[in-house]
Amino acid sequence: MEIGFAKPEDKDKIMAIWQYCFEDSETFVSWYFDAKYNASNTLVAYEDGLPVSSLQLVPYRLGFHNREIDISYVEGVDTLPEARGKGYAAALLKKAICEMKERGHLISLLLPFRYAFYRRYGWETCYYQKSYTFEPNDLKPLATPYGNLRPMDFNSDVDVIMQIYGEFSSHRHGYIVRTAEDWRCILYDLSLEEKKGYIVEDEKGTGQGYILYGLKHKTFEIFEMGYGNKDAYRGLLWFAYAHSAQADRITWKAPADDMTFAFLANPSGGVILKPFVMARVIDVMKLLRMLCKDVSKSLELSIDVKDPIADWNNGIFRVYDGEVMSSRDVKPDLSCSINTLTQMAMGFISPVQAHQMGLLHAGDVYAVEKAEIVFKVKNNFINECY
């Protein structure tokens, strides 16, 4: 087995593997490999000099504990059928983890085809979405006309929706810090699926919210809503409700913290909490140093981490006098897997919750309480599939 970064001449072969393994349209695949593909971010497994398996490390900025950090979103993990069962995907994932450490990344994200598969390599579920299915009339208690609604121009309105998204996501955690180019990619992808967008403006003509949606087969499908205040939120719901003559139902994958379900006219309608994106800590030492930067120097805590894939993450990490260091001479206060550490670092679960579930082992309850100072519960939000 030979593993390395893609060569310039591999692009068409890697694209063909993607087309075979995924159910994406040729139009989307062609666009993706023009807009997002980069050989220097693509790891490939070769058989007899030919690509048979690959994955891509797509760079993003992530809103993480009141900072912005560089990450890689792992995408397109695929293997030709004749090469499956030979451990190529596992080898690529291990190589990817090493590469991301070399790039200085703390965290990696991916959207799995099967959660159990990636859990073996240290990725763990850290994001959920509320998946709604309801009738337009169910929105009556919330739908209120507001401001001026106008069609979105996918070309000229990028700056407007960037600003709205920035405000919408700033109260959340784990979100992608979208650039203008990121937005152009999102909007072009939506246009390929014949989706549309509307913006709601206040009386001064300032954008306060946006809705990206599709209308097909009597279904009003909300891809994403962003808003800066409750009036814009209600105005966008009114926009969806106003399609009751064209749609029998509305579907929407909303942020996990969305409370629309509690105020629907028929709250017994379909509301499902669905797992979404997984995350993985790439560098425990660097992560803890960042999280402990603003912690009191009086905090003393040691945690034993088990990572079967990344040797540098294995061992006891001691927080002492404002510093984080490796230590073999102390008995750890806490111990957990890299999976559990990831969920705590992402703010998905608290140390108390992890301890109650038997995922975080502690010598005494005071150690768990101290860990609560380092690992804060967050409101995670992401809507990127790639």
pLDDT of residue 274: 96
pLDDT of residue 289: 96
Report the alpha-carbon distance of residue 219 to residue 241 in Å, rounded: 12
CATH 3.40.630.30 fits 130-275, yes or no: yes
- Name the architecture of domain 2-105: 3-Layer(aba) Sandwich (3.40)
Asked if 306 and 338 touch (Cβ cutoff 8 Å), the reply is yes
In three-state secondary structure terms, 198 is strand
Strand ranges across the sheet with 278-281: 2-5, 42-47, 50-64, 67-79, 107-110, 278-281, 124-125
Scanning the structure block, which residue is given the tokens 């300032």? Answer: 206
pLDDT of residue 247: 97
pLDDT of residue 329: 84
pLDDT tens track for 227-284: 999 999 999 999 999 999 999 999 999 999 999 999 999 877 689 999 999 999 999 9
Band the pLDDT of 211: cuts 50, 70, 90.
very high
pLDDT of residue 112: 96
pLDDT of residue 320: 92
pLDDT of residue 365: 86
- Across the range 151-177, mean pLDDT stands at 97
Instruction: State the average pLDDT for the chain.
Output: 96
Asked if 359 and 336 touch (Cβ cutoff 8 Å), the reply is yes
State yes or no: pLDDT of 133 exceeds 90. Answer: yes
pLDDT of residue 166: 97
Percent above pLDDT 70 for the chain: 99
State yes or no: pLDDT of 326 exceeds 90. Answer: yes
pLDDT tens track for 142-158: 999 999 999 999 999 99
Domain with CATH 3.40.630.30 in the chain: 2-105, 130-275
Residue 76: closest CA among 110, 35, 47, 46:
110
Band the pLDDT of 306: cuts 50, 70, 90.
very high
Q: 303-316 burial, b if ≥16 CB within 10 A, otherwise e? A: bbbebebbeebebb
- CATH number for the domain running over 278-374: 3.30.1050.10
pLDDT of residue 223: 97
Sign of CA dihedral 275, 280, 284, 287: negative
Lowest pLDDT segment from 72-81, 267-276, 344-353 = 267-276
State yes or no: pLDDT of 322 exceeds 90. Answer: no
Domain with CATH 3.30.1050.10 in the chain: 278-374
pLDDT of residue 342: 98
Band the pLDDT of 297: cuts 50, 70, 90.
confident
Rounded to 10 degrees, what is the CA torsion of 203, 154, 233, 173?
A: -120
pLDDT of residue 1: 83
Report the alpha-carbon distance of residue 24 to residue 18 in Å, rounded: 9
pLDDT of residue 37: 96
